Structure 1
Amino acid sequence: MAIIPGEAIAAEVEMGADSSTVRATVVQASTIFYDTPATLDKAERLLAEAASYGSQLVVFPEAFVGGYPRGSTFGVTIGNRTEKGKEEFRKYYASAIDVPGPEVDRLAAMAGKYKVHLVIGVIERDGYTLYCTVLFFNSQGQYLGKHRKLMPTALERIIWGFGDGSTIPVFETPIGKIGAAICWENRMPLLRTAMYAKGIEIYCAPTADARPVWQASMTHIALEGGCFVLSSNQFCRRKDYPPPPEYVFTGTEDDLAPESVVCAGGSVIISPSGTILAGPNYEGEALLTADLDLGDIANEKFAFDVVGHYSRPEVLSLNVRDHPTRPVTFTSAKTEDSK
């Protein structure tokens, strides 16, 4: 596997940046599907390479650990689930990770070893429900928390659960305030507003959308939020998934060769002014790196602060329920007796 550094490493990244500048890398690479240990090994190789560029923040794509099941239907039609589809879900479930769990511990150790802040998409297993989740780690090797995708798109709703308001964090770190929204939930204006209200400065957008129109959304968010946007997508060929009949791209399998591109990437880094700092890359697996001058945020907020002087709260307001939602709550007798 060849990792191709983004052109921004040479053209747009300068050594000796001041303390208000953060060097960031977005990873564009594929999962090793159905093989989580091998995917973690690959993540470490990529993290080590990004660290060798002096990166302080590294962002991985949506569902990098556990895999994005592109092309699969899991045998679902309304009113029916096939036995083969159930077996596919069983294997997919086995590839997911517990949070917390040993894989989270390993990712934390990687972040500490290479002294980088790490944002990475995973498939989280909680009981027998899966969630499309982003995990956050600091450069001391500490797990900070997670964001669960609020609204899976289309057939994703069959295989992933729904996040709630308790996992929309923005973490204050030494390199800035960092949060994430996953793929099409970036198109949810109220979710974005909640993140802006938390003061997000480095807005991570792991995705599975490689269409050119995705770039318009990323540019709009950078301008709207007055923040840096780091969008990371996988670049995958058919050969990166198991071969048929073990894994089938429904409706397109007959048209695909092993080298056929099934996700073209498009990873990108954009400044608060809408300037593209690195990418988009549609050529192959790549590391795209750029320096983020956090002073640019004040420059842009001077003209437009969406949750500040431009907000008009007497006309428009948003209420966010940020407590966990649970289907069952137990109240013990001991708790009752202590009242």
Structure 2
Amino acid sequence: MAQTLRLAASQSHTLSTTSATLHALEKTTKHASSQSIDLILFPEAYLGGYPRTATFGAAVGARRPEGREQFLHYFKDAVDLGDTPEGAGKKWIDGTLEGGRKRGDGTREELERIARETGVFVVTGLVERCGGTLYCAVVYVCPRLGVLGKRRKVMPTGSERLIWGQGQPSSLRAITTTIKGVKLTLASAICWENYMPLLRQSLYSQNVNLYLAPTADARDTWLPLMRTIACEGRCVVLSANQCMTKSNLPAWITGEKHDDEPITNGHSSAPARLRRKSTITDEGHEIVLPERHDGSSTAITEKPHEDDYVSRGGSCIISPLGDVLAGPLWDDENGLLTTEVDFDDCLRGRLDLDVGGSYSRNDSFKLTVEGLDLSPPP
């Protein structure tokens, strides 16, 4: 029986409201379904947003009031999945916490509906609010069974440490599922977690054959890292990053007032805004072209200049031997990478390298992770 699946990495960028972004996720997933995609990955912090260029008014030993207003807006953009600060794990997945499946703001249920109606397995990055803390997270949503798992980033990078809490290492647990007769063991490492060798090994040790890497890193060094991980783990690697121009940064970051979005106390009072792009003609005239909430233009626009981007993307799909199957995709704000993958290639690659098994020399080298069972899941 063929062990092939069609995979996609969506290079979508966060829109001006979380509801608009969720609607865009649904539209992209429907489009993926029309192309017979079995599983799609969305970027890090796609729902809730990656707050590029925002300072949150912070310096060592000081925080400014305007920075607190930024955090207030960002906090309200985050989603509430009904989890607990310590991470309820299986109880949250099974919906057995107090309040049952009605906990949260309904985002979980919307994601489950989108996966169910499209038949596409959805993996998306998001910013999760819980108590008074934000977490960068990834959720796995099966079309048949709903949410199968969720994990929180264990090590926010740089200024992320100011706005995101540290997640639970126990949530690094891989999950198993079967799609069209193909058994998958999948797990995710978020952005610079992929630079943590022991974290990578914790995933390899669970016999992962689909390694998901939602990211915010658009540097040229990202692709060789993804190729190394695929070759090292003999696994398929899917990486998705947002591609975004300065004009698509939210007003609460830029401080710019838009004609259709009044700014009050540092954050928007409008539910959504109409983004605008402009171009200057040779005669010095400015042409302003509106865009709809789904990011598609109502008129033909010139491709942004490289300097206009705050993130150029770089999404990619890599084979278990480290070959680039699709991408990297640059300067495409709504790109969708797709490819067909034979998961038997993971086993073919383990003829000579299995860093989660014999090649790990686990009789001599030991790795333990607090609260995490490193044996392959059933």
TM range (shorter): 0.7 to 0.9
Is residue 178–residue 201 contact of structure 1 (8 Å, CA) maintained in 2?
Answer: yes
Does the alignment pair 1:107 with 2:130? no
Which amino acid in the other structure matches residue 41 of structure 1? H
Q: Identify the match of residue 57 of structure 2 among 72, 75, 91.
A: 75
Superposition pairs of residues 193-212 of structure 1, within 5 angstroms: 193-212=201-220
Could you tell me how far 1:315 is from its partner in structure 2? 2.3
Long gaps (5+) in structure 1: 1-17, 248-256, 324-339
User: Is 1:232 aligned to residue 240 of structure 2?
Assistant: yes
Q: Which moved more, 1:56-65 or 1:238-247?
A: 238-247
2:7 aligns to what?
24
Change (3 A) 1:130 1:114: same
Shift of 1:39: 0.6
> How many aligned residue pairs are there?
296
Q: Is the 8 A contact 1:115 1:141 kept in 2?
A: no
1:174 to 159, 178, 182: 178
Q: TM-score, normalised by structure 1?
A: 0.85
- 1:295 and 1:145 map into 2 onto residues whose CA distance is 25
CA distances 1:103-143 after superposition (whole Å, capped 9, x unpaired): 11101110111011110000000101000000101122501
Q: Percent of aligned positions with the same letter in both sequences?
A: 42
| CA displacement 1:220-265 (0-9 Å, x = unmatched) | 0001101000000001011111243259xxxxxxxxx974111000
Whichever residue aligns with residue 277 of structure 1, its letter is L
> What TM-score comes out, normalization by structure 2 length?
0.76
Asked whether 1:245 is paired with 2:252, we answer no
| Alpha-carbon distance, 1:171 to partner | 1.0
**SS at 2:354's partner residue?**
coil
Does 2:109 correspond to 1:61?
no
Counterpart pick for 1:302 among 327, 351, 370:
351
The answer to whether the 8 A contact 2:7-2:339 is kept is yes
Judged with a 3 Å threshold, the aligned counterparts in structure 2 of structure 1 residues 51 and 141 are, in CA distance, closer, same or farther, namely farther
- Rounded to whole Å, the distance in 1 between the matches of 2:23 and 2:235 is 32
Report 1:140-179 matches (<5 A): 140=144, 142-175=146-179, 176-179=184-187
SS of 1:310's equivalent? helix
CA RMSD of aligned residues (A): 1.4
**Partner of residue 214, structure 1:** 222
Letter of the 1:311 partner, please give it. Answer: S
Task: Kindly provide the CA deviation profile for residues 58-105 of structure 1, in whole angstroms up to 9, marking residues without a partner as x.
Answer: 000000000000111100011111111000000000000112330111
1:271 to 319, 326, 329: 319
2:353 corresponds to which letter in structure 1? Answer: F
1:315 to 2:364 alignment? yes
- Contact 2:151–2:168 (CA under 8 A) maintained in structure 1: no
Tell whether the 8 Å contact from 1:36 to 1:95 is kept in structure 2 after alignment: yes
Shift of 1:321: 1.1
Q: Which amino acid letter does the alignment assign opposite residue 318 of structure 1?
A: L
User: For residues 209 and 21 of structure 2, what CA distance do their matches in structure 1 show?
Assistant: 29
Offset from partner CA, 1:143-200 (integer Å, 9 cap, x none)? 1121100100000000000012221121110031111110000111111111111111
Aligned residue in 1 for 2:295: none
2:339 aligned partner, one-letter code: A
8 Å contact kept, 1:270–1:276: yes
Cα 1:303–1:191 shift into 2, 3 Å:
same
Moved over 2 A (4+): none
Q: Shift of residue 283 of structure 1? A: 2.9
CA change 1:158–1:246 in 2 (3 A) is farther
Q: For 1:177 and 1:308, how far apart are their aligned partners in 2? A: 15
Question: Which residue in 2 is equivalent to 1:289?
Answer: 338
